[in-house]
Amino acid sequence: MKPKFIISGGGTGGHIYPAIAIADKLKAKFPDAEFLFVGAEDRMEMEKVPQAGYPIKGLWISGLQRSLSLQNLAFPLKLISSLSKSNTILKKFKPDVAIGTGGYASAPLLRMASLKNIPCLIQEQNSYAGITNKWLSGKVQSICVAYEGMDKFFPSEKIRFTGNPVRQDLLDISSKKEEAIKFFNLDKNKKILLVLGGSLGAKKINELIEKSLTLFKQHNLQVIWQCGKYYEDAYKNKGNENVKVLAFLNRMDLAYAAADFIISRAGALSVSELCIVGKPVIFIPSPNVAEDHQTKNALAVTDREAAILIRENELDATFESKFSELISSEEHQKVLSENITKMAKPNATNDIVEEIEKLMNLN
């Protein structure tokens, strides 16, 4: 019998990419397996999942708005519709295991799967659990997490501390330094700062980098500045031989390999990747996310003296002094690198797949 896996995760890349990574690893282990993804009709998974080579079906579902909104009036109807469609999809596909990585669509799908006694696993990327996974936690068999202390959200007997799935090309970046410097056309004799604001870009980080270009020049630094597609036109004229301004980074492995220091948001997958990369990091979390979870992700690292945290509202007062202190102290850089590397979970995807295999044996 061919194994069948149904997977749901979406809304943002932070839910979609772990779902695809898990599917890819399952496919490598079970080449004849069948896969079906389930997402929210109007969200980015409907594009990204087919690009990765997997079929996907969409549900008419969205989250509740935090403010009073007409959209909330449609929520009960959307939920009933999505539960009904999930039931139909499950009846037809007959999966051996249902896997959820967060996002609106995974709630109705995994709820219906659990009612049909299909073994279920969820994967939580953040240090502060999302509403969907919290709601599902009592109804699934296994919960894979990336941070310790998640028993404040989930039943402790179901928790597996696996880490987050990360791209496999990051596991050996130390051998790619020379290639990376050529790729970005940089000088191997100067230190390199990598700035990551996410694919769309981060307004506050971009403003900070523009304001700090003179500071970076004083420290004789080169900069790879990923400004995001929304800000490319505003900042592309700031580029020169020492400052490479890019909307996207198509070779993240080479960007990480080139870097000596990194400034980054604190999304769950970014944090997991940076633990594996092992370079000194300054986290500037986005304050505009649910439950301020990026700050909580960053604190889980900085509490172990493994990175530096600067909140957006502290940038004007503290960035220059904290950055200059880091650049000037090789000892501080070494401590941060060693401590963040200790937090890495390079085998996360394998460990999650092992949990899925255990659930397959329940059928």
Neighbours of 50 (CB within 10 A): 12
The residue to which tokens 């109705």 are assigned? 108
Q: Which residues are annotated as a binding site?
A: 12-14, 126, 167, 199, 268-273, 294
Residue 158 CB: number of other CB atoms within 10 A?
A: 17
Please give the span between the terminal C-alpha atoms of the chain, in angstroms, as a whole number: 12
| Residues annotated within a binding site for UDP-N-acetyl-alpha-D-glucosamine | 12-14, 126, 167, 199, 268-273, 294
Report the DSSP beta bridge partners of residue 245. 225
Read off the tokens for 177: 């330094």
Longest Cα–Cα distance in the chain: 64
Strands (E), 92-180: 97-100, 120-124, 142-145, 159-161
User: Which residues touch 64 (CB under 8 Å, ≥6 apart)?
Assistant: 72, 75
Our measurement of the distance from residue 233's CA atom to the centroid of its chain's CA atoms, rounded to an integer in Å, reads: 26
Tokens 């397996």 correspond to 33
- β-bridge mates for residue 70, sequence order: none
